Amino acid sequence: MTKITIKSDGGSRGNPGPAAIGYVVYLENKLIKKHGQKIGEATNNTAEYKSIIKALQWLQKNIDSISKDSPIQIECLMDSKLVVNQLSGNFKIKQPHLQLLANQAFAIIKDLKQQITFKHIKREYNQESDLLLNQALDKLK
């Protein structure tokens, strides 16, 4: 089984405020993708959702070249307890705008047809993604 690890982060300066996302993708512990971009005005939670959605969209487009017809285990690591628990089905999603984002993520997950887990990690273990989003935010100046 092939293992893919995604670390993603989203944040805003102000809540809401100027926001950005960052993510890294590892294939068997080898970095294969890193990305950071500004996303305009957003809340922290919206930015967190958009970061994992963007990472899953990239994976969706590139899965065929990665998998080589072998099963894939995808682990998504995030420092947002809310998003991890909502996407894992542990928390209800009450806000309509977050429901829309979660549904977008669920549609991609369904399309990928792979085993996907979401795990909360401490912020200090998500420094690469955090750096990418902060670099994108710094470009706003």
CA distance 101 to 79: 17
Which two structure tokens, joined as six digits, stand for 54?
């963007």
3-state secondary structure at position 82:
helix
Contact 46, 19 (CB under 8 A): yes
For the record, the structure tokens of 141 come out as 């100046």
Cis peptide before 96 (omega within 30 of 0): no
What is the structure's pLDDT at 140? 54
The predicted pLDDT at position 28 comes to 94
The arithmetic mean of pLDDT across residues 105-124, rounded, is 96
3-state DSSP percent of the chain in helix, strand and coil, to 5: 45, 35, 20
Residue 53 · residue 108 · CB < 8 Å:
yes
The pLDDT of residue 68 is above 80: no
Rounded to two decimals, the pTM is: 0.96
pLDDT value for 66: 85
Q: What is the mean pLDDT of the chain?
A: 95
Number of domains in the chain: 1
Average pLDDT over residues 45-55: 98
Which two structure tokens, joined as six digits, stand for 40?
């305009």
pLDDT per position as a tens digit, 10-28: 999 999 999 999 999 999 9
Domain that holds residue 133: 2-138
CATH number for the domain spanning 34: value is 3.30.420.10
